[in-house]
Amino acid sequence: MISRLFYNWRLLRPASKPANRFLAALVLALSLATPGAWALGDAPSWMHTAANAPLPEHDEKTDAVLLYSERSVTVVSADKIKIQVREAYRILRPSGHDYGMVAVPSNQQSKVSSLHAWCIPERGKDYEVKEKDAIEVSPPKVEGGELISDVRYKVLRIPAATPGSVVGYEYQLEKQPLVLQDSWEFQQEIPAVESHYSLQLPAGWEYRVFWINFPEVKPTQANGNQVRWDIANTKAILPEKKMPPLNGVAGQMIVSFFPSGGAVGKSFDTWEKMGSWYQGLTEGRKDVSPEMQQKVSALTASAPTTLGKIQLITQFMQHDIRYVAIELGIGGLQPNPAAEVFVRRYGDCKDKATLMSAMLHAIGVDSYYVLINASRGAVTAAMPAHASGFNHVILAIRLPDDAKDPSLIAVANQKQVGRILFFDPTNELVPFGQIGGYLQSNYGLLVTPSGGELMQLPEEPPATNGVQRSAKLVVDASGGLRGDVREVHVGDAASSQRDALRSSSDESDRLRPIENVLGASVTDYHIVKAEVSNLQHTDQPFAYDYSFEADHYAKTAGNLLLLRPRVLGTESSSLLETKEPRKFPIEFDAPRHDTDVFEIALPAGFQVDELPETVDIDLDFVSYHSRSEVVGNTIRYTRSFELKQATVPLTQTDQLKNLYRVIASDERNMAVLKPK
């Protein structure tokens, strides 16, 4: 679903926690690579100087410390940039050994011209690893990644990367830039002692600098077209569960370059100009071929309205055009022509968006690219225009004036183009009219003929996502429980279930989600029967219907029975039960609303003696309500958990922690049954 639209050619540091399956697989492949040969050889003076630096403040879990980092950028021309990188780390723990592996990516636009690495062990002589000892590997093939790519990694494994040793490397790149911009990512998950960035420009060139998640740092040197920045003692970004992505919170400096005599097409410093740059890059790609026009006419002939025609085209894009990414050279940025994608019946996200936009144009409907990151929080409203922030492309479809269908939820008004519907052609699990939680409340660059505008996508109501669970159950005098359960999933909750089940052919695989729910709340259970509804029909709610039996569910205490009315489902969480105070906001998948209704028939000869107390908590961003009551010879338990927004600010995390504790207590509470 995600392609390398804008790939940031930074050094891959395997010791950093992989942000996605692609990096995880790459780290595994590199760790299995055959190590190169090495020999005794003195490490350079800059490494020995760094090795003598005192360590910054760190905790006992810190794997390594970045002692020295230097990025030197020389802009030769609009078509050539040279970059030299030096880095040295002190390994502190055995788990930090991966910092002794350097992997430098390259492709047609970025070539590795030199690569060296060294180790200063805690005892003994220095080791050297030369470029001839490096191996080249391709990125591992992972689901959702590129099928074919020209990206290669030149890998050196540094010997003796053990606690106490210092490892370092130096490499040089020669780039043919597609964008005249560079990013200095000086903050990571470990602390840094000193970091440097130097820039040299041709005569008459200019630069503009923007800082992200970090106070502005003035240059320490500025002589003519040479300038340098220095930063000391950068704190580590300690990972937290459900935090924004690292590139959304870590300190960075974005530098844009501008040739003498005015900007060229690949120079920009505003979102508006970046939109114009991408509009130019895609010029002519949406042209409609006669074969495409014929297909559109056949597809939409049965639809009486424009909205109906749009829906039929979206179905074609979701189910008839496969996601396959073949990204060679500029293909990481520029979509293939719509006519080629149509003939091949496959493409990556920007290819599918291009074909769909062309087919919509064939029925007189305008649409626009939206460049976005598939991780909410990677791009924020406060950030400057930078090409490395995006990795995905979707569409904004201009809706007809008479399109008032209530199923159109992912809608916004834009002053220039009017009322638009956001749609991801690569996600076949999300119904037309909605977007997945990864896009909701996320910032994307809307690209129109007049330029670009960074805008926030809509956040869908909680009722569009979640699980509605109902059950009719019977408990017997020995504590056994049996009955029927129905679970209805909508939104992301439905998409995740469909994604898990659509490739499973074994019946046991289809039972596993039900087993997970039962196993988390009930012991000694047995599933009597189960069935799935609407697995393929994404426009309908997904549902499980199942029956189960559980011996000894209610516990005996003398002549009493202790029965937990909250039979299934868990809304409590230990997310915020940490030793250290929370540092970052919480990014949930999407707003959601879960409900439970359990009706439990009592055994003959018993009546209710005590019920759990009612809980009613309603905060600005979340609410929780639960109630147990006696209806005839039945305990009726109802509850509702509503997360009203996908992002919970840091200022509200204490309230959420307290709520989770209340929920955990409520989920354990018992009803007491006594003999009549």
163: domain CATH number is 2.60.40.3140
Q: Residue 521 in contact with residue 567, Cβ under 8 Å?
A: yes
What pLDDT sits at residue 5? 43
Tokens of 325: 């990414």
Q: Does 93 or 14 have the greater pLDDT score? A: 93
Indicate if the pLDDT at residue 20 is higher than 50: no
Please report, for the domain that includes residue 588, its CATH number: 2.60.120.1130
Q: Does 144 or 384 have the greater pLDDT score? A: 384
The pLDDT tens digits of the residues spanning 596-633 come to 999 999 999 999 999 999 999 999 999 999 999 999 99
pLDDT averaged over every residue in the chain: 90
* 6 in a structural domain: no
Q: Residue 226 in contact with residue 176, Cβ under 8 Å?
A: no
Residue 507 shares a structural domain with residue 536: yes
Half-sphere exposure at residue 225, Cβ-oriented, CA atoms within 13 angstroms: 15
* 382 in a structural domain: yes
The pLDDT tens digits of the residues spanning 103-162 come to 998 888 889 999 999 999 998 899 999 988 888 887 655 444 444 556 788 888 998 899
Cα angle 99, 166, 17 (rounded to 5 degrees) comes to 20
Residue 290 shares a structural domain with residue 438: yes
Q: Residue 203 in contact with residue 143, Cβ under 8 Å?
A: no
Residue 232 shares a structural domain with residue 315: no
Backbone angles phi, psi at 18, to 5 degrees: -60, 135
Lowest mean pLDDT among 6-15, 25-34, 129-138, 236-245: 6-15
* 10 in a structural domain: no
Residue 363 shares a structural domain with residue 215: no
- CA 147, 152, 157, 161 torsion-angle sign: negative
Residue finishing a domain among 267, 288, 308: 267
Lowest mean pLDDT among 128-132, 393-397, 634-638: 128-132
- Given its phi and psi angles, is residue 215 left (phi above 0), alpha (psi -120 to 50 degrees) or beta? beta
Residue 471 shares a structural domain with residue 588: yes
Residue 447 shares a structural domain with residue 467: no
What pLDDT sits at residue 510? 77
* 505 in a structural domain: yes
Residue 584 shares a structural domain with residue 522: yes
Lowest mean pLDDT among 27-36, 245-254, 443-452, 573-582: 27-36
CA distance 635 to 669: 14
CA distance 197 to 73: 8
The pLDDT tens digits of the residues spanning 152-201 come to 888 889 988 999 999 999 999 999 998 999 999 999 999 999 999 999 99
Cα angle 333, 85, 262 (rounded to 5 degrees) comes to 50
* 291 in a structural domain: yes
Q: What is the mean pLDDT of residues 391-406?
A: 94
SS3 of 470-485: EEEEEECCCCCEEEEE
Confidence bin at 1 (pLDDT 50/70/90): very low
Indicate if the pLDDT at residue 17 is higher than 50: no
* 1 in a structural domain: no
Residue 610 domain boundaries: 462-675
Q: Residue 106 in contact with residue 112, Cβ under 8 Å?
A: yes
Confidence bin at 346 (pLDDT 50/70/90): very high
What pLDDT sits at residue 328? 53
Q: Residue 380 in contact with residue 213, Cβ under 8 Å?
A: no
What pLDDT sits at residue 21? 43
The pLDDT tens digits of the residues spanning 68-120 come to 999 999 999 999 999 999 999 999 999 999 999 999 988 888 899 999 999 99
CA distances from 636 to 552, 602, 613, 618 (A): 20, 11, 13, 22
Residues with Cβ within 8 Å of 121's Cβ and at least 6 positions away in sequence, in order, are: 127, 160, 162, 164, 165
* 68 in a structural domain: yes
What pLDDT sits at residue 331? 54
Q: Residue 124 in contact with residue 206, Cβ under 8 Å?
A: no
The pLDDT tens digits of the residues spanning 475-486 come to 999 999 999 999
- Given its phi and psi angles, is residue 433 left (phi above 0), alpha (psi -120 to 50 degrees) or beta? left
For the chain, the domain total comes to 3
* 12 in a structural domain: no
SS3 of 175-203: ECCCCCEEEECCCCCCCEEEEEEEEECCC
Please report, for the domain that includes residue 380, its CATH number: 3.10.620.30
Half-sphere exposure at residue 167, Cβ-oriented, CA atoms within 13 angstroms: 22
Residue 278 shares a structural domain with residue 241: no
Confidence bin at 298 (pLDDT 50/70/90): very high
Residue 418 shares a structural domain with residue 514: no
What pLDDT sits at residue 2? 46
Residue 209 shares a structural domain with residue 278: no
Residue finishing a domain among 408, 434, 456: 456
What pLDDT sits at residue 169? 96
Q: Residue 424 in contact with residue 410, Cβ under 8 Å?
A: no
Q: What is the pTM of this model?
A: 0.90
What pLDDT sits at residue 178? 87
Indicate if the pLDDT at residue 205 is higher than 50: yes
- CA 51, 57, 63, 69 torsion-angle sign: negative
Residue 339 shares a structural domain with residue 483: no
Indicate if the pLDDT at residue 333 is higher than 70: yes
Residue finishing a domain among 424, 456, 488: 456
Indicate if the pLDDT at residue 26 is higher than 90: no
Tokens of 663: 């929920």
Lowest mean pLDDT among 28-37, 241-250, 445-454: 28-37
Residue 317 shares a structural domain with residue 431: yes
Percent of the chain with pLDDT over 70: 91
